[in-house]
Amino acid sequence: MPIRRSQLLVKWIFENQHKLQTVRRCSSSLRYKELEENSAAVQAEDVAPSTQFDEPCPHGEPENSFKYEDLQVKLAAPYQLQPKPDARDLGFGKYFTDHMLKVNYHAPLGGWQKPEITPFENLSIHPAAKALHYAIQLFEGMKAYRGVDDKIRLFRPDLNMKRMNLAAHRSGLPIFDGEELINCMKRLIQIDQEWVPHSEASTLYIRPTLIGTEATFGVMAPESALLFVVMSPVSAYFKTSSDGAVSIFADPKVVRAFPGGVGNRKVGSNYGPTIEATTRAAQLGHHQVLWLFGPDHQLTEVGAMNIFMVYINEHGDKQLCTPPLNGLILPGVTRRSILELASQWEEFTVKEEIITMDQVITLNKQGRLLEMFGAGTAAVISPISRIGFLENNINIPTMQQSQPVFQRIKDTLLAIQYGHIEHPFTVVIS
């Protein structure tokens, strides 16, 4: 049967849908203009990302990897395309884009197979797959931002790839060339680019996941695995008080991580066991859990964020600190970026150091504790105004500071992510 012109047109639209967007601008705010003009420290040419806050890599180069050049694309048919949700109703991970990326790994077939982009679909998985029984799996959390110039940017995706391979190495899952996955994800985002919200209040959350699919009950490295990437337009990660701050609950009886464990890896088995404590915190009127460790009640993380404190040190200087990467802490991309940016500002001392609850209480009593905040991709920066600890509520004066450090950091990160400031931390998707 001859192909009609209308069919050809539909086919062309179908294959080139990503080029058909209308140009809409994100709202720009004066705040960013000020930042751009005043903050010479964050200009691209001045910033050389440091490795000072890095973790050593125990695995070598991958023996084999899938390649972007082998990527196969099967676009969704028009009837499979989902309507875009209302920006006010996004939530976090409620809606998914039209396509996904999949890469199979089968050791008997030589390892990684060709990557493929397909219409979004359910997975078919054997009930004995190791991921379902022994949590042999890992995931990442990244975002694509639609900038003020309508360009879409990723924020330091190389660090997510590195963290993904560290978790894969620990879990007996196959490692891969991170650059190849970044290129495949860029293509996926290009195809679903109209799902990247035209707003600075929301973003496209990207969830690369690697699961062991071998269907045998032995607790050992799986011979087969599936790497997949799904994407979801998202808005705020969690609710806050009316002033935008959170109240956190610290229960010394529960731990998130322990020495020699996997608290420093983004594996699902770190998250399931936090639900009970998080629910209890919510019942007591708190937003998040502050995870403590050890008899001296060291602060490790807050919810799914790294924790920061700003205080006046023994020399009378302002100091920004966060716990060191001692195995209990997830090496956050936001954490590292904050440490690098704040070190370059050279306006206050920046340190990785152990923080204990005793220290928080003493500094607070002495009026030397200025701010506490959580930092992570999902919530960006989350100021902390109260800690519930051992029957007491400790009020933290984060929101009472006239020029809070957390706000400057938040504004700078958002300015970089949404393209108000050109910066080497971002990768533009063309």
Give me the residues that bind ligand PLP (CB under 6 A), please: 141, 266, 301, 304-306, 330, 332-335, 376-377
Contact between 84 and 195 (Cβ < 8 Å):
yes
Closest CB 333 distance from ligand PLP, rounded Å: 4
Alpha-carbon distance 199 to 146, whole Å? Answer: 7
Q: Which is nearer to ligand PLP, 76 or 305 (CB)?
A: 305
Q: How far apart are the first and last CA of the chain?
A: 38
Alpha-carbon distance 271 to 385, whole Å? Answer: 24
Contact between 264 and 231 (Cβ < 8 Å):
no
Q: Whose CA is closest to 168, among 208, 114, 118, 218?
A: 208
Closest CB 375 distance from ligand PLP, rounded Å: 6
Q: Which is nearer to ligand PLP, 101 or 379 (CB)?
A: 379
Closest CB 141 distance from ligand PLP, rounded Å: 5
Closest CB 204 distance from ligand PLP, rounded Å: 15
Q: Whose CA is closest to 365, among 319, 396, 388?
A: 396
87 phi and psi angles, rounded to 5 deg? -60, -25
Closest CB 132 distance from ligand PLP, rounded Å: 21
Q: Which is nearer to ligand PLP, 264 or 359 (CB)?
A: 264
Closest CB 219 distance from ligand PLP, rounded Å: 24
- Classify burial at 150, counting beta carbons within 10 Å of its beta carbon; exposed 0-12, middle 13-18, buried 19 or more: middle
Closest CB 305 distance from ligand PLP, rounded Å: 5
| Rounded (5°) CA angle 50-55-58 | 130
Closest CB 261 distance from ligand PLP, rounded Å: 12
Q: Which is nearer to ligand PLP, 76 or 355 (CB)?
A: 355
Contact between 131 and 212 (Cβ < 8 Å):
yes
Pairing mode of beta strands 111-112, 99-106:
antiparallel
Q: Which is nearer to ligand PLP, 153 or 266 (CB)?
A: 266
Q: Which is nearer to ligand PLP, 147 or 376 (CB)?
A: 376
Q: Which is nearer to ligand PLP, 105 or 249 (CB)?
A: 249
Q: Which is nearer to ligand PLP, 99 or 143 (CB)?
A: 143
Q: Whose CA is closest to 347, among 321, 381, 319, 383?
A: 319
Alpha-helical regions (H) of 16-92? 30-38
